[in-house]
Amino acid sequence: MAANKTRRKKTADAPRDAVEVALGLFEARGYAAVALADIAESAGLSLAALLRQHPGKSALIATWLGRIDAGMLDAAKTAEDETPRDRLFEVIMARLDLLAPRKPLIRALGRSALCDPDLACTLALALRRSLRWMLAAARIETEGLRGFVVRRGLSAIYADTIRVWLADPSEDAARTMAHLDKRLRQAAGLLGRLPRRGGTTAETVTDTH
C-alpha cells in the first residue's frame, strides 16, 4: 500500500513537457510576457533543469518546430510515381495540418518576431531547415546553386501559402489547398526542371498527370 502511494506521488510530481507548457503559456499570455521562470515553474522544473533541456525561449520554439518537421515526414504520403508538384503538395499540407491546432500562436509569434530579433532568427532558421526536409520528403535533392534557387522559390511559395492559410476559416483548408496548388503550378517558369537524386533531371514541379 505504501509503495502504491509513493508511486502515485512520483507520477503526480513528474515534470511536464517544457515545450508544451511553454506553448500554452505563450498562447495565454503572449510570447514577450512569459519568463523562463514561469515556464520552469509550470513544467515542474528547476531553472537549471530547463536550461539543460532548452537554453532559452526561442529554443523551445525551435524544438517544437523540429517536432512538427518530424511529424510532417511521418505523415506525408508520397509515392515515387507522383510528380514533384504532387509530392510537395502532400508534404506542405501535412505540415499545415500539424500546425493547425496552434494557428493563433503562429499568428502571435509572427507579430512578436517583428520586435524580437532572437525569435525572428530562430523562425528563419527553422524555416530553412523545414524547406530542406520538405524537398527531401518530396524526393527532390537540391544542392549547389540550383538547389539554392529551388529553395528560394519554395520559400516564397510556402510563405505565401501560410499567409492564405492563416486567414482560411474553413475546416478542410479548401482555400489553402487551392492556393497552394495554383502556386506550385505557377512555379514551372521559376524553377524549371528539378534534379532527382544522383544528378538526373526529373519532371517539373508543376507537371500534372
Q: Show the cell assigned to 183.
A: 502556386
User: Looking up cell 549547389, which residue turns up?
Assistant: 144
Average the pLDDT over 177-196 and give the result: 72
Domain boundaries, position 73: 61-204
Question: Among 15, 32, 55, which residue terminates a domain?
Answer: 55
Same domain? For 117 and 46 the reply is no
> Do 49 and 70 fall into the same domain?
no
pLDDT tens string 98-132: 999 999 999 999 999 999 999 999 999 999 999 99
Split into its structural domains, the chain has a count of 2
* Residue 120, pLDDT score: 97
CATH number at residue 20: 1.10.10.60
| Residue-wise pLDDT tens digits, 20-42 | 999 999 999 999 999 999 999 99
Whether 30 and 118 map to the same domain: the answer is no
- Using CA atoms, how far residue 48 sits from 12, 21, 53, in Å, is 21, 17, 9
HSE of 127, CA atoms in CB hemisphere, 13 A = 17
Domain endpoint, select from 22, 38, 55: 55
Q: What percent of the chain has pLDDT over 90?
A: 62
Confidence band for 8, pLDDT divided at 50, 70 and 90: very low
Is residue 51 domain-shared with residue 69, that is, in the same domain? no
Residue 56 DSSP class: S
At a CB cut-off of 8 Å and minimum separation 6, what does 101 contact? Answer: none
Dig out the grid coordinates for 126 from the structure.
527553422
Is residue 144 located within the same domain as residue 161? yes
pLDDT of 66 higher than 60: yes
Q: Are residues 111 and 46 in the same domain?
A: no
CATH number, domain containing residue 163: 1.10.357.10
pLDDT band at 148 (very low <50, low <70, confident <90, very high): confident
d(CA 70, CA 64): 10
Contact 197, 139 (CB under 8 A): yes
Measured between alpha carbons, how far is 135 from 72 in angstroms, rounded to an integer?
12
Query: Do 144 and 118 fall into the same domain?
Result: yes
Residues 101 and 118 in one domain: yes
Asked if the structure places residue 115 within a domain, the reply is yes
93 assigned to some structural domain: yes
Same structural domain for residues 25 and 50?
Answer: yes
Share of the chain above pLDDT 70, in %: 80
Cα distance between residue 110 and residue 114, in whole Å = 7
pLDDT category of residue 146 using cuts at 50, 70 and 90: confident
Judgement on whether residues 169 and 79 belong to the same structural domain of the protein: yes
How do residues 155-172 score in pLDDT, each as one tens digit? 999 999 999 999 999 888
Q: Give the end of a domain, one of 40, 55, 70.
A: 55
The answer to whether residue 3 scores a pLDDT higher than 90 is no
Average pLDDT, the chain: 83
Q: Does 164 share its domain with 94?
A: yes
Residues 6 or more apart whose Cβ sits within 8 Å of residue 180 = 89, 92, 93, 157, 161, 164
Average pLDDT of span 68-88: 84
As a whole number of angstroms, the distance between CA 137 and CA 91 comes to 7
Q: What does the pLDDT read at residue 79?
A: 67
Domain match, 49 and 97 both: no
The pLDDT value recorded for residue 151 is 85
Q: Is residue 83 part of a domain?
A: yes
